[in-house]
Structures are given as C-alpha cells and as structure tokens.
Amino acid sequence: MALLIPGTLTIMTRNGRYGAFNTGKLSTSIGDFVVKDKELDQYDAGKYQGQFEIEKIKSVHYTYGNCLIVECRAYLASMQLNSTTDLTDEEIDALSTKEQDPLEEEKLNASVPTTPCSQPMTTQSSGKGQNTQYQVQPKANKVNKANKANKANKTNTTAVSDDEQLFGLLWPLGHQVKLDSTCDRETLRQQKTRLGELGYEFDFRSQIWNLQ
C-alpha cells in the first residue's frame, strides 16, 4: 500500500561515465530517503516541495570505488510538486559527494532487460515465413527529379528519422510532450536532451514539456 506524505525533494545534478544524471534526497516527517527514480533526470537541480506517494522503501547497498554504500531508498509512485527553490552554496557543498550513476548501477546488475519505448509499427509483406519485397521501377523521366528531391531533403529526413526512432509512439511531437516513464533510463535521458535542443522547456508542476 502506497504512503502519501508531504516533504521536500532535493535534487542534485552530477556527472558520471554516461554524462549528467540526477539523484534526490526526500526529507519527510518519517525520515530522509534517497530517491533515484529515472524521472528525476527531467528536473533541474533544486529543492522541490510537495506531496509524495511512496510505493516502496528498501535498503540498497553497492560498492563504489573502495567504499561500500548503504542507502535507505524510496521508490515513488507519483509526486505533486508545488514550489521550488535554488540550492544554496552550502547545500551544494554538502551534497557534492561522489555518487554512482543509477544507470551504471543498472548496467552492472542487469539481470532484467530494460524496456525501450514503443516504436512505430512497420509493415512487412511475408510469404511462407520469408520477407517479400516488391519494387516498382520508376519511369526514366522521374528519376532525376526524385534524386534531386532526395538530396535536398537528405539532412532533414535523417533528423526526422532519428527523432522518430527516439520518441517512438510520441512522434510526431506536439506543443506539449509528456515522456513515457516506462522507457528505460538511458532512453529517457536522450529524449530529455533532444527536447531541450528542439526548444522545449520542462514544467515541474505538470511534469510536461512545453514548446517555447
């Protein structure tokens, strides 16, 4: 049974083998907990106040460098954030200890395959278990026009194809985008980075990316 409780989530951005990543510390009336849910990677560093639905609390240990790290980790089913404040210099110094990237931890303990986002459906014709390809030869007077169009649109087509592969069923993107939390952590980070490049900004209250 999930526990709904008010608290403050402090998110710190760190750098590791796989780039920047976020970890959190949830302070509540029943104690402080480490939070490493993959959804945190969408947020900026800071202190967030709100209601937190804790699905599970679990003791986790791992080795990092020459140290054995033991954490009391909270897993969130949902959260409703009301406000945020920046971290002070003192808080940044206190939180700037080295910490293992959760993605690295998952890769080291990959006993269960990660779940990539759902991809667009493709259609293939098949017969007797083998793929059958059908090709229609274009007329000679259309070949040059097609080649010119392909060259002119090659760069744009490649970008669109990459984005479609990355975002899966979310593609094409609208003015508002809510990322699929069932995606694996690495894909979610790539989507977050790409949305920023495309001019989207994250609203921490609605947990939606908005095109600016």
What 3-state class would DSSP assign to 181?
Answer: coil
Q: How far is CA 172 from CA 5, 166, 169, 179, in A?
A: 37, 11, 8, 13
Q: Domain map of the chain by residue range?
A: 3-108, 149-211
Q: Return all residues near 185 (Cβ < 8 A) that are at least 6 apart.
A: 38, 41, 102, 103, 106, 114
37 contacts 58 by C-beta, under 8 angstroms: no
58 pairs with which residues across the strands? 73
The pTM of the full predicted model, rounded to 2 decimals, is 0.78
Amino acid, res. 17 = R
Per residue in 10-20, pLDDT tens? 999 999 999 99
* pLDDT at 151 > cutoff 60: no
Helix (H) or strand (E) holding 21: strand 19-28
Specify the pLDDT at position 137. 53
16 torsion bin: left (phi>0), alpha (psi -120 to 50), beta (else): beta
Whether the predicted pLDDT of 133 surpasses 50: no
pLDDT band at 159 (very low <50, low <70, confident <90, very high): confident
Residue 9 pLDDT exceeds 60? yes
Closest of 57, 61, 102, 103 to residue 77, by C-alpha: 57
